[in-house]
Amino acid sequence: MKRYTYYIYIGCLTALLLSSCMKQVENPTVVQELPDIYPDYIDVTIPVGIAPMDFNMTDDEVELIDVVARGGKGGELHAQGAYADFDIDEWHALTAQNQGTDIRFTVSALKKDEWIQYQDFTMHVSPCPLTDFGITYRRIAPGYEVGGNIGIYQRDLHSFDEFPILQESAVPGQCMNCHTANRGSSEQFLIHLRGERGGTVIQTDGKQTWLNTKTDSTKANFGYSYWHPSGHYLTSSVNSIHQSFFVGKDKRIEVYDTMSDVLVMDVRTHELLLCPLLQTVDWETYPVFSADGKTLYFCTSKPCRMPAEYEKAKYSLCRIAFDAQTGTFGTEVDTLLSAATLGQSFTYPRPSYDGRWLMYSVTNFGNFPVNHTEADLWLMDLQTGKTRSLSEVNSPDVDSFHNWSTDSHWFVFSSRRGDGMYNQAFIASIDDKGNATKPFLLPQRNPKKFYHEMLDSYNCPDFTTEKVRFDARTAGRNCLDNQRIQVTLK
Amino acid sequence: MNILKKYGKVLLTIALAVAAWCFWALRYPQALAYHEQIQLFLFDYDFFMERLTTPAGIARYGAEFLVQFYNNLKLGAAIIAMVYVLMQIGVWRLGQRERDESRSVWYALSFVPVLLVWFYMGDENMKFTYVVALLMAQLSMIAYPAKQSAWSKILYAAVAMPMLHWLAGPVVMMLGLYVALKEVLDHKNYALASGAALYSVACIIATAPWVPYPLFRLFVGINYNINLYEVAVIHYIIMLAFVLVPLLIQHLPKLEGKRAQAAGVVATVAVAAMGGFAIPTAYDTDKYEVLHYDFMVRRQQWDKIVATAQKKNPTTPLTVASLNLALGMTGEMNSRAMQFYQNGREGVFPSFNMNFESSLMTAEIYYHLGLVNTAQQFDFEAMEAIPDNTKSARLLKRLAETNLINGQYDVAGKYLKLLQKTLFYKRWADETMRLLGNEDAINNHPVYGQMRRFQLEKDFLFSEQEIDKVMGQLVLQNSQNFLAMQYLLLLPQLEGNQQKYLMYKDFVQKTLNEKKP
């Protein structure tokens, strides 16, 4: 007993010492304005268990920031330092305790030896949990032809931990396209590699299969791919992709196709299923399967002379039936959104996994929204066919590359709203009526330093249910071996 | 003679330092500039910690710290000379069992490993990390407690080898080999010898699961060469030399009297001759000529470029392109370009071939023409084309400028903040930071203001095949863009198309007349 008393005494003394390290917010000047914080987390909606929403003051002259976070249902956190940095476990406990209600933040900043206290702001803790482990994405610097230090990574959304899945260093000299998982599965996904020893690697239940996807009867290797929910098929476009650069100062680059088709591959036999309606003289691309796997959505444009007529390439959003039992297609193509009628280009469709919504990109022209500052996210209600711009989410800059969480209550997308050059990953939730919440930037410890010094873009973010386990060393060996299974026509 | 006997060793070491300094400061300063421009060293805790995450991280950090001083070429040359001297003294120190003057006749042999390093540095892709790693390995060999108990030696090897591997990379094999040979030669302790050798290799293999590199890369050294997958035999020969030469010195016979004098003279002359003849052969003339032209373009030494070309006609696309740019900047392109060797459009606008040097040069040409966006594109490509995936302070500076001119202040600020963490770009970054968002200051800036006036208001997709039209648009945009005019008139000259030349000349004349105040 005497020993325990001794420990309690030591503990109290340590706590006292630690608390005395914090400066008291004394006689602050209370201002009637919200704090100018980076990232802008004011009024965002977050899931329970998300990584701590650390933030900085945008003003570099602020020496110290003092933040008290109080939950509507109880719980309190106190952080003080150069930026607001919350303990992970305490933060998780606070969000869990306040699921479905708000956390109120009182921010005081010390500047020139004077404390300023701002109006409180809130973050809303969604009643819908985010059950996925994290997100995957490609990190790529803005080189246009040279791959550089490209890599596919995953980030635990509940902490700040990032793990590489495949980096260029493991597959020397190869450019890699994004990791495409079957509904965020960590067990079934593919990665396309470009370059001299390129190929498509499919991993199912830990086993890597390397494919050569170009055949004499198809126009190119697989491009933009998507899994059938059964896992037995995947659909892909085959594109001849090019890029040209603008000479003026407002636009940088236009990426375009000079031809493209859509096909389906039976993953079990590596046989291609071709459909004349998806192999026309028009340019079909961005194929995706519906949540029930019975419909194939894709985008299509009338061909034009590229790059001279780059502004004429406008893509309609279409669909065709698909029978997974027989591996056959419907006989008619429905046009959901007509580029000719609406005068815009509709690309990158992503159906929610609950079958309710279809999110897609809208640009003035072209099929590569990530380079269009006007690119916005739109939402179609698949029950009513009604569409609307997600204005509560969109920014004046690029918003694109969206994907759904596996429970379809959250979505992640990349946006250039930060500085106009580097894509960052944002997450937002969506309710049963299709109302989205204000998105929040992927949390980082000391986010201002992190994002201001980050020289990579977050490309094609997607959710992953579990941590992806991919043997990059085996992939490197397989890549160098150049042994590929040739896909064939059925 | 007595003076030579007394100070001979010091004089030889000083001679090495002087020769190295002259070589790098006066003969190959472009090599220093090249290495300085393909790295970005930041005074930042995270930067340091990031370096620590891979084997040889500290050697890399140390090397990058030193290489940043190459910004001042004379200081850079002095640093290399100093490192050479330290290495040579280290070899000599290892070669002495005890202070034994009778072995001084073999002093010249202690220069051999350093001369090999000097030779290998002729490969412009060899990184200074390798040199720093060698130095660290030498230190670990010097610190080996050879005369102490077996347990002390085992303890030292057990701790030093994994540490050395993580801090300096596969040079840990040098320590393993040194301990092995030392134990065999001096103590006949074969168990410790074989254990040390195997343990050094095991240290490398054991880290493989933790780093995202193929195993062979860990044996080659992750940051020893810019080309990550290059395996040069000399790489290992040098490592061997740093182990074997000290042991050789230790075991060569003691000589005295005239035999010693003769042997000393022969050894010195032989080593000096080896260095004098072999080292220049390692420096590829064409490669270093390209680097020299790039160096002059970076410093905007236009007259010097023309003078250099007059002495020796440049022939590669990059050197010819540099010359043409220099002629344009001095207003002599149309009168003098055809006096030099030309290699068609490649010598005017080199085509993009995914490498650092060509992207950089092409970016410079477009930048001076006022095609800021095109220059930015090539600068990005150049940055990503650095084979070992480092960033470049020079390119970051240029990217900050292109974004500043384009009015993209957030991105420009991002780059400037990074440059504020460097030693040599900080002042410039601080000054440029004040321009962010200040439209008047930028518009009135002698360079950025002019670039803005040159920039095309009519936007279209750039095409190398239609470069004449792009030049024409630049002339129409601003009749003060004399560089664009000169390029426009040079293009038909290179094709030998007299009719087109006259047409373009007429167009330029008309534009000038119309735009006259």
pLDDT at residue B182, as a whole number: 93
A71 located within any domain = yes
| Residues spanned by the domain of A273 | 134-485
Q: Would you list the domain boundaries of chain B?
A: 1-38+72-123+234-283, 287-511
Domain boundary among A95, A125, A155: A125
Same domain, yes or no: A96 and A138: no
Q: What is the pairing mode between strands A64-71 and A76-81?
A: antiparallel
Q: Chain B residue with minimal CA distance to A250?
A: B406
Q: Hey, is B183 helix, strand or coil?
A: helix
Specify whether the backbone of A293 is left (phi greater than 0), alpha (psi in -120 to 50) or beta.
left
Same domain, yes or no: A456 and A307: yes
Question: What is the CATH number for A112?
Answer: 2.60.40
Same domain, yes or no: A89 and A139: no
Largest CA distance in chain B: 92
Burial call A389-401: b when 16+ CB within 10 Å, e when fewer = ebeebbbebbbbb
* A residues 132-161 lying closer than 8 A (beta carbon) to B: 141-149
What is the rounded radius of gyration, in angstroms, for the C-alpha atoms of chain B?
28
Same domain, yes or no: A459 and A408: yes
Contact (CB<8Å) A142/B473 = no
Same domain, yes or no: A273 and A407: yes
A147 located within any domain = yes
Residue in B213, B389, B406 closest to A249 by CB: B406
Contact (CB<8Å) A421/B405 = no
A15 located within any domain = no
Same domain, yes or no: A201 and A118: no
List beta partners, residue A103.
A71, A123
Q: Chain B residue with minimal CA distance to A60?
A: B417
* pLDDT tens profile A289-336: 999 999 999 999 999 999 889 999 999 999 999 999 999 999 999 999
pLDDT at residue B421, as a whole number: 97
Same domain, yes or no: A280 and A376: yes
Q: What is the CATH number of domain B287-511?
A: 1.25.40
A4 located within any domain = no
Q: Is A483 exposed, middle or buried (0-12, 13-18, 19+ CB in 10 A)?
A: exposed
Q: At A451, give phi and psi (nearest 5°).
A: -75, -30
* Chain A CB within 8 Å of residue B381 CB: yes
Q: Chain A residue with minimal CA distance to B230?
A: A172
pLDDT category, A1, cuts 50, 70, 90?
very low
Contact B398, B375 (CB under 8 A): yes
A17 located within any domain = no
Same domain, yes or no: A229 and A90: no
Angle between helices B356-369 and B372-384 in degrees, nearest 10:
170
Residue in A248, A418, A419 closest to B373 by CB: A248
Domain boundary among A93, A125, A157: A125
Q: How many domains does chain A contain in total?
A: 2
A40 located within any domain = yes
List beta partners, residue B159.
none
Same domain, yes or no: A174 and A213: yes
List beta partners, residue A166.
A152
Q: Hey, is A426 helix, strand or coil?
A: strand
Same domain, yes or no: A261 and A300: yes
Same domain, yes or no: A121 and A141: no
Domain boundary among A84, A100, A125: A125
Query: Which residue, among A295, A326, A284, A274, has the nearest Cα to A229 in the 3D structure?
Result: A295
pLDDT category, A14, cuts 50, 70, 90?
low
Contact B111, B275 (CB under 8 A): yes
Which residues, 6+ apart, have CB-to-CB distance to A113 below 8 Å? none
pLDDT at residue B37, as a whole number: 95
* pLDDT tens profile B370-390: 999 999 999 999 999 998 889
Lowest-pLDDT choice from A447-456, A477-486, B199-208, B266-275: A477-486
A10 token code pair: 């030591």
A238 located within any domain = yes
Same domain, yes or no: A276 and A407: yes
B100 has pLDDT over 80:
no
Q: Rounded to a whole number, what is the distance in angstroms from the first to the last CA of chain A?
A: 79
* pLDDT tens profile B208-260: 888 878 888 899 888 899 887 777 788 899 999 999 999 999 888 887 778 88
Question: What is the CATH number for A189?
Answer: 2.120.10.30
Residues of chain B found within 8 Å of residue A154, distances taken between Cβ atoms: none
A10 located within any domain = no
Query: Which residue, among A443, A385, A428, has the nearest Cα to A157 in the 3D structure?
Result: A443
Lowest-pLDDT choice from A5-14, B81-90, B429-438: A5-14
